[in-house]
A and B are shown apart, each in its own frame.
Chain A
Amino acid sequence: MSQNNEALVQFIGVEKTYDGEVLAVKNLNLEIHRGEFLTLLGPSGSGKTTTLLMLAGFETTTHGDILLKGKSITKVPPPKRNFGMVFQDYALFPHMTVQENLAFPLTARKVPKAEIEKKVARALEMVRLAGYQTRRPNQLSGGQQQRVALARALVFEPQLVLMDEPLGALDKQLREQMQLEIKHIHEHLGVTVLYVTHDQIEALTMSDRIAVLHQGEIQQLATPTKLYEEPENSFVADFIGKNNRFAGNVLEINRSNCKVEIDGGATVEALAVKVGGVGSRTLLSLRPESVVLDPPDGLCPNRFEARVEELIYLGDHIRARVSVCGNDEFVITVPRTGNAPRLEVGQTINIGWQSQDCRALEVP
């Protein structure tokens, strides 16, 4: 990852509206560093694709500016922006062979013929499709088509590659395989990638940094680890991974920690990430895997009795839905192996968690 903190692309106060009433993107300020793999992650309608299309030049910006290496590109037409682009439906040209598809960006740039042959062969080798030159797109499987699309977006050595949910049409196994492949190609070439997806696993697998978008605004921009372990607001906590939540009032704040009286009546000690003063409402967020079963005495400040409501077998672990402190949507994960206790529906168990794993966030 040849990434430094030099900005290749800057969004400065970018706003976009389609109908003049609703903002699809609100006051977006974002830097894409040279050589990094940045993912825009969010549910549908969050403005992630709009952001990508504005950068590609297919949508106009209503307000603000987009800079490429410090120069505004909002007036540059798409063919002149020199960005590779990969689409969800591949957008391979069906009337051309693989060779012709890959040669298309090169002939448009008037690259000499002999060089085209060489570059196309090299690009196909990179996506492990050497020798497929004469095939037509409809003779390839979905995964192969996506690889060709990827090779086509990279063959002219663009400074930036935009990917709009490129793996959305593939089945799960192929998707996981392609995620790793794209990640390796990125590491190998050092090209800058802006990736758009609604799949959090995909984002976590591939990205250097992830921007979580919701309703046209960046909720949090951080590395995958930070995003999962230290979500800054309840939307991010809910959107990434499984999350248990309690709503409650802040009783007291003690430096980084706070005490919260949750609506079920119990009092919980939590890490005060973003809370107002004493008495304000807060949302507690707790990852299922942070919950300890039968915690030894003195280990966890938060200890409660829970009733097992439902068990879901997931192969590598068991997910148990339990009812605790009046919340029957509370989920814990139990490893399937080792000396973990066997749970049964209706059983009462003891659970507990560390106060730093339970994050007190502001109410959206």
Chain B
Amino acid sequence: MTTIVPTADIVRTADGVPLKVKLRRAERMRKIRAVSLIAPLFLFLAVTFVMPIGIMLFRSVQNPEVSQILPRTAQAIQQWDGEGLPGEDVVAAFIADLRAAKEAKTHGKVAKRLNYDLSGFRSLTLQTARRLPPPETPPSELLDKLIEIDKRWGETRYWATIKKAAPPYTMFYLLAALDRNFDVKGNVIHAPPEVSIYIDVLERTFWMSFIVTAVCFLLGYPIAYLLATLPTKHSNLLMILVLLPFWTSLLVRTTAWVVLLQTQGVVNDAAVALGLWSERIQLIHNRTGVYVAMVHILLPFMVLPLYSVMKGISFTHMRAAASLGANPLRSFLKVYVPQTMPGIGAGILLVFIISLGYYITPALVGGPRDQMISYFIAFHTNTSVNWGMAAALSVVLLFCVMIFFGIYNRFVGIEKMKLG
């Protein structure tokens, strides 16, 4: 008899190899195959999704203009305490940097960046760059020369703005996205009311998303219920009606609403003809138009998750409830609705999150007071080309979505979510 001395803790196979090692070996090939199948998708996602978004979000804290284009100034101004006016060396460095920037034609960027913080700085910088004192001017006279060019150089806040803009990374954009700013001492303060719009926009975004989600739920639940309970023949037709708009371009659907809802449009014509209202009313380029179009577009996102959950609920549950003495309303509320909770959660989460980031529809059918946060992200990306601000607003939006997602996960559980 061969004696394999059994060690107490390790389970071994017949040939003495520990079972765990053997298992790893046996499973290795499968693991390698699985990883190599996933690798292309993983790379694709990393290159086209994670990286660009990461870079874009990173811009919300990047602050390269002053530190790169005015490097000597950026360094020298750190020594200044922000009281009174900076010393000779700072002014000398600023003039030298500005001269170099003008030659390199990069001074416009700095001017624009400084203007974000303090309006009027753009023209000041450009003007000054055109009339810089000659290089041989003694350093002690430089500040007076600058004040000669524009007396604003004699004010502390302009120099303080340069100091604030000097570090290569900053919270400036993120604070601005929440209507906050730094004062000269580095304390967080409220931005002046004339530029404080983003908190309002954020509130509006949440409120509009909430209304759209609520209306979608109220309209979508009965539709999903019908879809799940009608005989297949009828439910297929209904399903096509739900999906047909889903397959149509978003732009087409939105512009179709413009045609329908405008003052001389079909809806107003019909309502006036039927006597529902006597004078044509404004239905588009206001909140009503945005709600109508958004609900229409987002309804399938509510219906489909609800439908998939309702399809799985056995109709004998309702019969059982009835046989146990519950009237139809009680059966519905106590037996049916609780079982559709995963679908309700998924539908609400989906519609709410998509609404938070809605851009095209409010832009086309809404008025200036109906624009959501995405509009301002697009505005800063395309029109004002203030990418730092666009990135900061994106970070705020992403953060809000994550918070909402977290709340959902805490109370409903993401593993219970069922999509389509």
Contact = CB atoms under 8 A, between A and B. Distances in A.
Given A79-B322, A108-B325, A152-B324, A91 B334 contact: no
A83 B316 contact: no
- Chain B interface helix/strand/loop/mixed: helix
Contacts of B292: none
A52 to B, nearest CB: 11
A108 B330 contact: yes
A299 B339 CA distance: 68
Q: Chain A CB within 10 Å — which of B324, B326, B328, B330 has the most?
A: B324
Interface string A201-233: 000000000000000000000000000000000
A81 B316 CA distance: 17
A94 interface: yes
B interface residue count range (under 10 / 10 to 19 / 20 to 34 / 35 or more): 10 to 19
Nearest to A84: B323
Contact of B326 (A82, A95, A104): A104
A139 B99 CA distance: 78
Contacts of B328: 79
Nearest to B323: A85
A91 B319 CA distance: 9
A77 B334 CA distance: 19
B325 A91 contact: no
A342 interface: no
Given A94-B339, A95-B338, A104-B334, A79 B316 contact: no
Interface in B187-239: none
Nearest to A105: B324
A78 to B, nearest CB: 4
B326 A91 contact: no
Contact of B317 (A78, A93, A108): A93
B3 interface: no
A28 interface: no
B350 interface: no
Given A79-B327, A104-B334, A91 B322 contact: no
Contacts, number: 64
Interface size class of A (residues with CB under 8 A): 20 to 34
B338 A108 contact: no
B101 interface: no
B325 A87 contact: no
Counting chain A CB atoms within 10 Å of each CB, which of B314, B320, B327 scores highest? B320
Contacts of B326: 79, 104-105, 108
B317 A83 contact: no
Interface in A47-61: 56-58
Given A104-B321, A104-B334, A89 B327 contact: no
Interface in A37-87: 56-58, 77-85, 87
Contacts of A77: 322
A83 B323 CA distance: 6
B335 interface: yes
A149 to B, nearest CB: 8
A87 B328 CA distance: 19
A31 B34 CA distance: 65
Contact of A87 (B320, B334, B339): B320
Contacts of B316: 87, 89, 91
B334 A78 contact: no
Contacts of A57: 322
A219 B341 CA distance: 48
Interface string B300-338: 000000000000001011011111111110100011001
Interface string B243-256: 00000000000000
Contacts of B321: 93, 104
A94 B317 CA distance: 10
A353 interface: no
A104 B320 CA distance: 10
B325 A109 contact: yes
A162 B324 CA distance: 12
Contacts of A93: 317, 320-321, 335, 339
A156 interface: yes
A156 B324 contact: yes
B325 A105 contact: yes
B314 A91 contact: yes
A173 B367 CA distance: 72
Contacts of B323: 56, 78-79, 81, 83-85, 153, 162
B339 A156 contact: no
A136 to B, nearest CB: 13
A87 B324 contact: no
B317 A91 contact: yes
Contacts of A156: 324-325
Interface in A147-178: 152-153, 156, 162
Contacts of A95: 338-339, 341
B339 A78 contact: no
Contacts of A89: 314, 316
B311 to A, nearest CB: 15
A162 to B, nearest CB: 8
B120 to A, nearest CB: 63
Nearest to A100: B334
A82 B319 contact: no
A207 B181 CA distance: 84
B158 to A, nearest CB: 65
A78 B314 contact: no
A108 B317 CA distance: 15
A104 B324 contact: yes
5 contacts: A87-B316, A93-B339, A95-B339, A109-B325, A153-B323
Given A105-B326, A156-B325, 7 more contacts: A58-B322, A78-B323, A79-B326, A84-B324, A91-B316, A95-B338, A104-B326
Q: Which 6 A-B pairs have the closest CB atoms?
A: A91-B320, A85-B323, A105-B324, A78-B322, A108-B325, A91-B316
